[in-house]
Amino acid sequence: MRNLALRPSLPVVRLAHDIAGYSVDFIGGLDSWLRRNFRYRDEFEEIVRTPEFMLLDMQHAGMLEGDCDDVATFAASVLHNAGIPARLVAVRTTPDPNFDHVFTEALLEGDTYFTRIDPTVSSETRVPEFERMEIWL
């Protein structure tokens, strides 16, 4: 996921510039854009879709589609291509050995806290964290 998010991508850069133009609050603008343009799709086998594939697929489906790791990778790529520090966060919500949710966190210059970007749940949802693993971009 990290490697996919770090790849330079002209379509993702263009999207980042578009979002920046719409909102003074880039992270809030990205979160709003994803909530309007992302549809959760459960997967039977675990794959991670590239941000470029998601954008191409959006041209046909009208929406970005995927599960939490797809949209987390996508959001991390947009943030990285916009020059904003970000990290991917995988959490276990129970003592089960498998991590069961992934989201992105971003840090704007001057902020002392990370902002979560997770369009797979409502913005008020607090995902319980039994354990967390952070992967910095």
What would the mean pLDDT of 2-12 be, rounded to a whole number?
92
What would the mean pLDDT of 84-93 be, rounded to a whole number?
94
Span of 18-32, 37-51, 72-86 with lowest mean pLDDT: 18-32
- The rounded mean pLDDT for the chain is 91
Q: What is the pLDDT of residue 36?
A: 95
Q: What is the pLDDT of residue 50?
A: 94
Sign of CA dihedral 94, 92, 115, 59: negative
Q: What's the CATH code, domain 2-136?
A: 3.10.620.30
Q: Which amino acid is at 61?
A: A
Q: What is the pLDDT of residue 23?
A: 65
Global confidence as pTM: 0.92
Q: How far apart are CA 70 and CA 73, in angstroms?
A: 5
pLDDT, tens only, 105-134: 999 878 888 999 999 999 888 888 999 999
